[in-house]
Amino acid sequence: MFNIENFKAVTADNIRFEKQKKRLSKGSINTSFIENAVTAAIKNLVAGTKSFVIYGEPQSGKTEMMICLTAKLLDQDRKIIVVLLNDNVELLKQNLRRFKESGIDPDPKNFSEVIDSNVEIGTNKWIIFCKKNARDLRKLIEKLRGQTEITVIDDEADYASPNAKINQGEITTINRLVGDLLGEQGTYIGVTATPARLDLNNTFDNANNHWVKFPPHEHYTGQDIFFPMNLSTEFKYCLTPLPDQGDDPKYLRRALFGFYANVGYLNTEVNKQEKNYCMLVHTSGKRADHTDDYKQIQKIINILKDSNLPKFINYVQELWEIAKERFGEEKADGIVKYALKTISRCSPVVMNSDVDKKNVDYTNATYPTTPFTIAIGGNIISRGVTFHNLLSMFFTRDVKHKIQQDTYIQRARMFGSRNDYLKYFELTIPEHLFLDWHKCFVFHRLAWESINSGNGAPVWLEDNRVAAVAANSLDKATVAIDSGEMGFGIFDLNEEIQKLVQDAYDGGKSCLIVLKEFLTKLGNASMPQYVIQYVENFMPEGDASIAIHKAFSIANYKDAQQDKIERAKGFIGNNDIEKSKFPQAIHHFKIFYNTSNKARIYYRYIGNIKFLKNLKRHLNEQ
């Protein structure tokens, strides 16, 4: 007999998170990294933290983590999850599709599906996607009016969400609207690979002491591969440096032919079945330049299609020479024949805001459907969007003054799961730009080590060429610039460590060797390996470039936090540098300890590097 009571209570089981883990496990994906990040995020929420950041490497699987986090939040009976994305149609499509394909319940919706007057929010659970676009946000806020405890997951959180007018006593539109969406009871979870701006801007008062690290999966190829600390090591991919001056069209042509040669080799000698690959061309932020690049590439394609054109012989020979150099003369003919037979399946696609406004589908560029797919663009292709089977990158976009560390880290679109074809990947880039980009990641590594050390607020680095973030995003009321030092994890100071310090101080032992012994005896948290690698790769005066000073007690420092061994304005002053004893030193290390013999190693670089630190939490604790 029919009984309506049997059906009233039928709802989705609160096992969404477990279902997502099973889905990933079936695809042979190790879910431990995701589980750890989700568990830490939920722990924050249970403890009452209302605003924090989850940070991980570019292209490291954060979308899958966000899917699992959303599933867990829904299991925890959170009703409305709003996923914010950059104002980029392709990025919205890409992420919404990934969420839908995961089978998560309820079915994720674009905000445009929700704002219809016939749709009732009610007490149901929702996953709503919305671009960080003022018009879209206003409509969504109106639709959700009266709803409380909205949870916002802000993808690429450091883009658009921070208040760029913080020092003018004003609020930028997107920052205000996201704040309105959160209301008094909402929860903010920022997700990004570049959290510096969120910290230094105090965006939505995120708690930097509760940030969650999301490490990359085991198949990830990232900064350690593409920007190794030691540039003298053998690269695992093909780095093709360009002259620092000039924009001769021949450089783009050679990069294009290199792409053709690599695809030709893979599809004739390596792959069992033909695969489609992508090349990224990023020369400028100007849309007119994208059109010029497109015309130049299309002209080359047209010549290779027609053997009657005057330049056909020269271009084919140039392609053959590149194939010969890379894969040998016996393979060159087959590679070139493949390229010429397949050139009609070459798809150049312009991706910029002009095209974006026309609602053009970029899927054929991000998921290549032809062997030779070429994506051309600027800002749209440099943040958030994933390019599958990316095999080549022609990157010449530079700036006259400082480059922003966060922006250029995001532009590393070659990061991701590239192991299957890593040795065939080619990055074509001006040498000085590569070195600046490399420096961005050196600073990035050091900053992340400062987070992992647990020593209060993160420390962000910049110099006369690389800026940590845009200057207008710095909350100057709470950010200290050029305190000049970074500290590491607390350890127990003993006689063995004191003797090492004394040996280095007296010159009886190499300072670099002593630093490495610190690492062995104290661990990576207290003497980070990346710091040692950075120092080792930047020793213009050899071991004299390093100074290890005598350990010093902070017992008489009234403005220091004795238990944490922290001091808002830093510990290493000019007197601590001992310039007369260490005249050539640029890397200074000094141990500071309290009355309990708990200690930290502090590092200060004497040069043109600045260290930026958010003192807000320090000031509040005093």
Q: Is residue 2 part of a domain?
A: no
Q: Is residue 1 part of a domain?
A: no
The answer to whether the beta carbons of residues 417 and 244 sit under 8 Å apart is no
Q: CA 525, CA 454: separation in Å to the nearest integer?
A: 8
Taking the whole predicted model, whether its pTM rises above 0.85 is answered as no
**Who has greater pLDDT, 35 or 482?**
35
Q: Is residue 70 part of a domain?
A: yes
Q: Report the length, in residues, of the chain.
A: 622
Number of domains in the chain: 3
Find the range with the poorest average confidence among 105-109, 210-214, 451-455, 516-520: 451-455
The last residue of one of the domains, among 166, 191, 214, is: 214
Q: The tokens of 284 are what?
A: 């400028």
The CATH number covering residue 180 comes to 3.40.50.300
CA 585 to chain centre: 32
Same domain, 319 and 276: yes
Q: Counting Cβ atoms within 10 Å, is residue 546 exposed (0-12), middle (13-18) or buried (19+)?
A: buried
CA 78 to chain centre: 28
The answer to whether the beta carbons of residues 220 and 415 sit under 8 Å apart is yes
Per-residue model confidence (pLDDT) at position 454? 63
Same domain, 551 and 596: yes
| CA-closest candidate to residue 446, choices 407, 477, 405 | 405
Per-residue model confidence (pLDDT) at position 17? 97
Same domain, 276 and 293: yes
CA distance from start to end of the chain: 69
For residues 254-279, average pLDDT? 97
Pairing of strands 51-56, 126-131: unpaired
The last residue of one of the domains, among 187, 214, 241, is: 214
- The tens digit of pLDDT for each residue in 436-485 reads 888 888 888 878 877 776 655 677 877 778 888 888 888 777 665 545 67
Q: CA 412, CA 395: separation in Å to the nearest integer?
A: 10
Same domain, 344 and 410: yes
Same domain, 471 and 416: no
Q: CA 52, CA 63: separation in Å to the nearest integer?
A: 17
The answer to whether the beta carbons of residues 210 and 175 sit under 8 Å apart is no
Q: Is residue 508 part of a domain?
A: yes
Find the range with the poorest average confidence among 195-209, 240-254, 542-556, 560-574: 240-254
SS3 217: coil
DSSP one-letter string for 399-454: -SSPEEHHHHHHT-TT-BS-GGGGGG-EEEEEHHHHHHHHHHHHHHHHHHHHHHTT
Rg (CA), the chain: 27
Q: CA 591, CA 498: separation in Å to the nearest integer?
A: 9
DSSP one-letter string for 280-310: EEE--S-HHHHHHHHHHHHHHHHHHH-TTST
- The tens digit of pLDDT for each residue in 114-132 reads 999 999 999 999 999 999 9
The answer to whether the beta carbons of residues 226 and 427 sit under 8 Å apart is yes
- Which residues lie closer than 8 Å to 540 by C-beta, 6 or more apart? 586
Residue percentage of the chain with pLDDT more than 70: 91
Same domain, 132 and 233: no
Same domain, 526 and 615: yes
Q: CA 328, CA 324: separation in Å to the nearest integer?
A: 4
Distances in Å between the Cα of 215 and the Cα atoms of 31, 38, 58, 99, 154 are 11, 12, 11, 21, 18
- The tens digit of pLDDT for each residue in 400-440 reads 668 888 888 888 888 888 888 999 999 999 998 898 888 88
Per-residue model confidence (pLDDT) at position 382? 64
- The tens digit of pLDDT for each residue in 54-113 reads 999 988 889 999 999 999 999 999 999 999 999 888 889 889 999 999 999 999 999 999
Residue percentage of the chain with pLDDT more than 90: 62
Q: Is residue 242 part of a domain?
A: yes
Same domain, 395 and 334: yes
Same domain, 311 and 298: yes
- The tens digit of pLDDT for each residue in 157-188 reads 999 999 999 999 999 999 999 999 999 999 99
Q: Which residues of 54-64 are buried (b: 16+ CB within 10 A; e: fewer)?
A: bbbbbbbbbbb
Per-residue model confidence (pLDDT) at position 163? 96
Q: Is residue 111 part of a domain?
A: yes
Per-residue model confidence (pLDDT) at position 538? 78
Q: Is residue 6 part of a domain?
A: no
Q: CA 572, CA 543: separation in Å to the nearest integer?
A: 20
Same domain, 396 and 415: yes
Q: CA 391, CA 381: separation in Å to the nearest integer?
A: 15
The answer to whether the beta carbons of residues 597 and 555 sit under 8 Å apart is no
Same domain, 204 and 298: no
| CA-closest candidate to residue 539, choices 505, 487, 587 | 587
Find the DSSP H helices in 266-404.
287-305, 312-327, 329-342, 353-356, 363-366
Per-residue model confidence (pLDDT) at position 366? 85
Q: Which residues of 137-159 are buried (b: 16+ CB within 10 A; e: fewer)?
A: bebbbebbeebeebbbbbbbbbb
Same domain, 541 and 427: no
Domain span at residue 602? Answer: 441-621
Q: The tokens of 530 are what?
A: 């990346």
The last residue of one of the domains, among 158, 179, 214, is: 214
For residues 197-201, average pLDDT? 92
